């Protein structure tokens, strides 16, 4: 089973196999479909492969996450668990929780339960995790430990990390260097219209296109269309 077969048209951009255990940063401004893209990719992947995945949502609670998926026709899967940190956050003891340890506990639990079938993780988002951890004094070390923990479980992980288009890469912890791949979702002008696009900025050991490709929201989720070229 291959990830590039899990979203219609993704094989136009990813042209060879993605080996298991890679960490992929999914970046872009708010509303650029990061959460929808990662959820749809994981859902289709675990369904087709009969493997198991976890979608950890730190930014939105489960119901608001599901609501926005529903609006673009993406459903649920028994093979994809959604875990919501926002509930724990509202707890009066939330400041005493070590979220990195909590995440590792969750991964270990699913690993014990599903073994090698537990293969994929969506983490939404790293920025939200940082904001829960005011005590992070050394973001580089933190990011290094976080990425290492993901590698330990050999999970193919999609780590969402918000970033403004054209603006500074607010990469406190060298995330772009640590990740095996960087995906960018965004909006751009093309032929006088504003269109959504998907682009791979970096992907180690995978054959891929560098061009931004148009993204269409259809009745069954997202679809990747052809490459976009500057019209100016």
Ligand X SMILES: Nc1ncnc2c1ncn2[C@@H]1O[C@H](COP(=O)(O)OP(=O)(O)O)[C@@H](O)[C@H]1O
Interaction site with ligand X (CB under 6 A): 28, 30-36, 68, 71-72, 217
Separation CA 140–CA 200 (nearest Å): 23
Nearer to ligand X, 36 or 157 (CB): 36
The site partner of 72 among Mg ion, ligand X, none (C-beta below 5 to 8 Å per kind) is: ligand X
Backbone angles phi, psi at 148, to 5 degrees: -65, -40
| Interface with Mg ion in residues 147-186 (CB under 5 A) | none
Nearer to ligand X, 20 or 31 (CB): 31
Counting beta carbons within 10 angstroms of the beta carbon of residue 15, is it exposed (0 to 12), middle (13 to 18) or buried (19 or more)?
exposed
Identify whether the C-beta of residue 46 lies closer than 8 Å to the C-beta of residue 53. yes
Nearer to ligand X, 35 or 156 (CB): 35
Q: Is 35 in the site for Mg ion (CB under 5 A)?
A: yes
Nearer to ligand X, 110 or 122 (CB): 122
Strands (DSSP E) contained in 127-211 are 156-162, 181-190, 193-203
Q: Is 36 in the site for Mg ion (CB under 5 A)?
A: no
Segment interacting with Mg ion, rule: CB under 5 A, options 2-10, 35-43, 93-101, 169-177: 35-43
Collect all residues with Cβ–Cβ distance below 8 Å to 232 and sequence separation of at least 6: 189
């Amino acid at each position: 089973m291959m990830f590039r077969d899990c979203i219609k048209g993704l094989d136009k951009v990813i042209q060879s196999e993605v080996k298991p255990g890679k960490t992929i940063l999914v970046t872009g401004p708010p509303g650029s479909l990061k959460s929808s893209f990662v959820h749809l990719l994981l859902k289709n992947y675990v369904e087709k492969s009969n493997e198991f995945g976890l979608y950890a949502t730190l930014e939105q609670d489960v119901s608001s996450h599901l609501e926005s998926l529903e609006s673009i026709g993406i459903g649920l899967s028994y093979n994809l668990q959604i875990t919501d940190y926002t509930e724990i956050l509202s707890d009066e003891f939330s400041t005493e929780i070590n979220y990195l340890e909590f995440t590792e506990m969750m991964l270990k639990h699913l690993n014990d339960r599903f073994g090698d079938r537990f293969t994929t993780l969506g983490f939404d988002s790293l920025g939200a995790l940082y904001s829960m951890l005011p005590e992070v004094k050394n973001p580089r070390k933190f990011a290094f430990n976080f990425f290492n923990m993901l590698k330990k479980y050999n999970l193919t992980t999609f780590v969402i990390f918000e970033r403004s288009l054209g603006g500074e890469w607010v990469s406190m912890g060298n995330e772009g260097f640590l990740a095996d791949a960087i995906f960018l979702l965004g909006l751009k002008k093309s032929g006088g219209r504003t269109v959504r696009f998907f682009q791979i900025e970096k992907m180690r050991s995978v054959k891929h296109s560098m061009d931004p490709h148009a993204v269409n929201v259809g009745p069954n989720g997202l679809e990747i269309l052809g490459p976009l070229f500057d019209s100016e």
